[in-house]
């Protein structure tokens, strides 16, 4: 495959200049090969409302040519951050066209090689202008249309409904397959998305008739149902609970490799992390439910109604976080909902000791914008009343649809439907730095399960002899699993013989949450508990299996062959936790399949290469280090990690190399490797070698 070609049609505006200029539409075509260099052309229409000296379009490190306004070539300036237009336009309607070239260092990512390539974008905040001339200010609401030119064996996805191809075609790319999309309503530029790769999808319709499209890689077809479990139910619930019809034409969800975050709420087309693509067992360890609901809620809160500035960011993230919790309540019940709120409250109370920036501050932490924002909404909803809250929400979304808002505009709608002291609420929850724990606890204690959970938690320092009967009763009951988990956690430091009966009872609840708690309850598995502990290898949790296999292999070397034979072929989660652990154990087990040792090593080494996602690579490298700290075969893969777009992996690689450079033999190896590296890797490694 030689090139991928993409054509875009956009309507754009710049928020700081909206009093003077209103960009209406733009037709644009861009093409690129399997590298970050982008070539494009665009034709805009815009309306000059009031006299303005300079019109600005955000464009980072781009070059422009053939620029015309109203059909005539004009002078312009390029600051390398913005395209500056200062002549040729008039009051009223105008047209603008130009060609551009960009070599973006962020916001568009090329993952994989050749036929395995994926290209996807991430514009959260103000980064779309790194790959397409656009508007960083979120107050700019624009109608976008997109034509994507790509080879026939690839799929291409963008915002909006599929449509017939646009008319603004470059002759040299006209022979490529065209995938075209069109929005009907305006949105901020950061929500523009593109995904190109090999995808399949299945479709259904919401109860209100909205097309729902669920994408997946062809090799993940068996994981489709667990990955997208409850998706339609989540959609139907949120549309009903929010009280405002889904504001767009379609909703699709696309998992992409090495995505930077859990998910991103691009208008109509969410991208999300492959971590959440799971089978039935993996679903119990990590699933897409919360991220699914969170990103969908953003289609109203953030995409349709957008905060005017970072100070009001909680209006997006707090709402999305809270409505995702409400969706979980719909699926899993009130006890689950309150337990999630309790976990968040505990986290916020602890963080408040050092995190002193209030929600209404653009420098507030993610924890504040998301979790504290969600708690603030819960307090508001419970005190105002669910129906009044829903009425205020409906009025708020209706009034400000496809516009930008501030917190007071939302609170004004609450004031119209309730006598609740909204001003005091604002001071207490949005402007103060502390977390109002007593107010939160008062709401939590309205739930019977939470009261029971607190009662058990308060027994932590009570001697086992005084609480054993109660624990036995609770373990035998249908109490919600966190109570049983808490019981197991309280047995952590109790002598084995004293707690054995309770641990056996906990194991026989057959609740995987509770059994996982048992799996980590003691550092060494007692010999007379081993047969019971072995049953964890069959649990519906890859994490539990990993814990159990690791402990059994470590503590009972005489049985290693049996457990390795049993677990051969296990893969586990997307980081291949079970397969990579198995390979390390098989290599470390003396005389185990000696004729295949080299094959197993090569497989493990391959997982460290750029052919795999970063979470697989990191897991493999850590196990290779565990096997042999002097092994140098994986070091080029570690160096390659320095240039990964995933900051978590690049940091891991940097930290590991820094530690290794303290040893002369490793330093000499890296110095010898330097000249053979690609330029970008060479630059990063050279920096580390020169550190003092």
Helix (H) or strand (E) holding 623: helix 614-627
Q: Which two tokens stand for residue 35?
A: 């590298």
Q: How many helices (H) and strands (E) does the chain have?
A: 27, 23
- What mean pLDDT comes out for the span 187-195? 93
pLDDT at 113: 86
Domain range 199-299, CATH class:
mainly alpha
pLDDT at 423: 98
pLDDT per position as a tens digit, 636-687:
999 999 999 999 999 999 999 999 999 999 999 999 999 999 999 999 999 9
pLDDT at 161: 96
For residue 3, pLDDT beyond 50: no
pLDDT at 33: 62
pLDDT band at 35 (very low <50, low <70, confident <90, very high): low
Q: Tokens 């280090």 belong to which residue?
A: 625
- What mean pLDDT comes out for the span 335-339? 98
* Beta-carbon contacts of residue 523 (< 8 Å; ≥ 6 apart): none
For residue 422, pLDDT beyond 50: yes
Task: Check if the beta carbon of residue 383 is closer than 8 Å to that of residue 429.
Answer: no
- Report H helices in 477-509: 481-490, 496-507
> Cα separation of 547 and 572, whole Å?
12
pLDDT band at 39 (very low <50, low <70, confident <90, very high): confident
Quote the percentage of the chain above a pLDDT of 70. Answer: 95
- What mean pLDDT comes out for the span 160-167? 77
Buried b (16+ CB within 10 A) or exposed e, 241-265: bbbbebbbbbbbbbbbbbbbeebbb
- What mean pLDDT comes out for the span 588-607? 97
- What mean pLDDT comes out for the span 494-523? 96
For residue 27, pLDDT beyond 80: no
- What mean pLDDT comes out for the span 199-227? 98
Domain boundaries, the chain: 3-197, 199-299, 312-446
- What mean pLDDT comes out for the span 57-62? 94
pLDDT per position as a tens digit, 339-364:
999 999 999 999 999 999 999 999 99
pLDDT at 22: 86
In this structure, of 20-24, 477-481, 630-634, the range with the lowest mean pLDDT score is 20-24
* Beta-carbon contacts of residue 627 (< 8 Å; ≥ 6 apart): 584, 587, 588, 604
pLDDT at 149: 79
pLDDT at 4: 42
pLDDT at 16: 63
For residue 548, pLDDT beyond 80: yes
How does strand 118-121 pair with strand 195-197? Answer: antiparallel
In this structure, of 8-22, 280-294, 450-464, the range with the lowest mean pLDDT score is 8-22
- What mean pLDDT comes out for the span 67-74? 97
Quote the percentage of the chain above a pLDDT of 90. Answer: 85
pLDDT at 38: 82
pLDDT per position as a tens digit, 559-574:
999 999 999 999 999 9
**CA-angle at 426, arms to 424 and 432, nearest 5°:** 100
pLDDT at 7: 43
In 3-state terms, what secondary structure has residue 69?
strand
- What mean pLDDT comes out for the span 478-487? 98
Same fold, 3-197 and 199-299: no
For residue 170, pLDDT beyond 70: no
Q: Tokens 């397409």 belong to which residue?
A: 132
Q: Between 1.10.630.10, 2.60.40.1730, 3.30.1130.10, 3.40.50.300, what CATH number should domain 3-197 receive? A: 2.60.40.1730
pLDDT at 140: 83
Helix (H) or strand (E) holding 543: helix 542-555
For residue 2, pLDDT beyond 50: no
- What mean pLDDT comes out for the span 479-500? 97
For residue 9, pLDDT beyond 60: no
- What mean pLDDT comes out for the span 233-240? 98
- What mean pLDDT comes out for the span 508-523? 95
**CATH superfamily of domain region 312-446:** Neutral Protease Domain 2 (1.10.390.10)
* Distances, alpha carbon 65 to alpha carbons 12, 13, 27, 75, 99, in Å: 19, 21, 16, 10, 5
């Amino acid at each position: 495959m030689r090139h991928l070609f993409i054509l875009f049609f956009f309507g754009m505006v710049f928020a700081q200049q909206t009093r003077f200029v209103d960009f209406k539409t733009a037709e644009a075509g861009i093409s690129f090969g399997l590298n970050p260099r982008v070539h494009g052309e665009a034709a805009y229409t815009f309306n000059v409302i009031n006299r303005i000296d300079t019109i600005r379009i955000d464009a980072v490190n781009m070059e422009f040519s053939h620029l015309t306004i109203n059909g005539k070539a004009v002078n312009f300036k390029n600051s390398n951050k913005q395209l500056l237009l200062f002549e040729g336009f008039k009051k009223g309607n105008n047209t603008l066209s130009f060609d551009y070239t960009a070599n973006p260092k962020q916001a568009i990512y090329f993952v994989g090689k050749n036929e395995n390539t994926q290209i996807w974008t991430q514009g959260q905040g103000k980064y779309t202008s790194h790959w397409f001339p656009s508007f960083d200010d979120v107050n700019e609401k624009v109608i976008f249309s997109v034509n994507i030119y790509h080879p026939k064996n690839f799929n291409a996805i963008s915002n909006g409904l599929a449509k017939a191809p646009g008319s603004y075609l470059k002759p040299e790319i006209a022979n490529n397959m065209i995938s075209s999309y069109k929005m009907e309503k305006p949105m901020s530029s950061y929500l523009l998305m593109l995904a190109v790769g090999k995808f399949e999808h299945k479709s259904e319709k919401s109860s209100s008739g909205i097309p729902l499209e669920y994408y997946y890689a062809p090799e993940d077809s068996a994981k489709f149902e667990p990955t997208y479990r409850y998706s339609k139910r989540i959609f139907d619930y949120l549309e009903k609970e929010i009280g405002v019809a889904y504001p767009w034409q379609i909703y699709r969800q696309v998992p992409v490799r090495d995505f930077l975050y859990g998910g991103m709420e691009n208008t109509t087309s969410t991208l999300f992390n492959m971590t959440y693509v799971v089978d039935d067992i993996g679903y119990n360890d990590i699933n897409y439910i919360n991220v699914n609901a969170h990103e969908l809620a953003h289609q109203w809160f953030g995409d349709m109604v957008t905060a005017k500035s970072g100070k009001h960011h909680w209006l997006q993230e707090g709402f999305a976080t809270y409505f995702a919790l409400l969706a979980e309540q719909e699926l899993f019940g009130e006890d689950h909902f309150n337990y999630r709120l309790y976990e968040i409250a505990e986290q916020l109370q602890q963080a408040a000791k050092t995190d002193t920036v209030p929600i209404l501050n653009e420098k507030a932490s993610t924890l504040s914008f998301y979790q504290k924002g969600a708690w603030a909404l819960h307090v508001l909803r419970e005190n105002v009343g669910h129906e009044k809250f829903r009425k205020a929400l409906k009025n708020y979304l209706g009034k400000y649809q496809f516009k930008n808002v501030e917190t007071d505009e939302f609170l004004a709608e609450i004031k119209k439907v309730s006598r609740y002291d909204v001003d005091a609420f604002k001071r207490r929850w949005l402007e103060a730095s502390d977390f109002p724990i007593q107010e939160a606890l008062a709401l939590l204690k309205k739930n019977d399960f939470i009261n029971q959970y607190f009662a058990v938690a308060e027994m932590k320092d009570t001697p086992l002899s005084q609480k054993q009967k109660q624990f036995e009763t609770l373990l035998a009951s249908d109490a919600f699993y966190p109570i049983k988990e808490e019981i197991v956690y309280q047995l952590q430091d109790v002598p084995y013989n004293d707690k054995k009966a309770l641990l056996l009872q906990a194991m026989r609840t057959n609740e995987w949450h509770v059994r996982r708690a048992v799996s980590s309850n003691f550092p060494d598995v007692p010999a007379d508990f081993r047969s019971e502990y072995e049953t964890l290898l069959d649990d519906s949790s890859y994490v539990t299996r990993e814990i159990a296999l690791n402990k059994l292999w470590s503590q009972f070397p005489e049985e290693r062959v049996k457990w390795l034979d049993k677990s051969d072929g296990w893969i586990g989660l997307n980081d291949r936790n079970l397969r990579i652990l198995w390979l390390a154990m098989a290599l470390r087990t003396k005389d185990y399949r000696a004729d295949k040792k080299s094959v197993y090593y090569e497989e493990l080494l391959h997982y460290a290469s750029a052919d795999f996602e970063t979470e697989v690579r990191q897991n493999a490298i850590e196990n290779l280090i565990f096997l042999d700290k002097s092994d140098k075969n994986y070091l080029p893969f570690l160096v390659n990690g320095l240039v990964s777009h995933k900051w978590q992996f690049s940091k891991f690689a940097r930290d590991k190399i820094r530690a290794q450079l303290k040893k002369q033999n490793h330093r000499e190896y890296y110095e010898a490797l330097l000249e053979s590296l690609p330029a970008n890797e060479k630059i990063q490694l050279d920096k580390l070698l020169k550190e003092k």
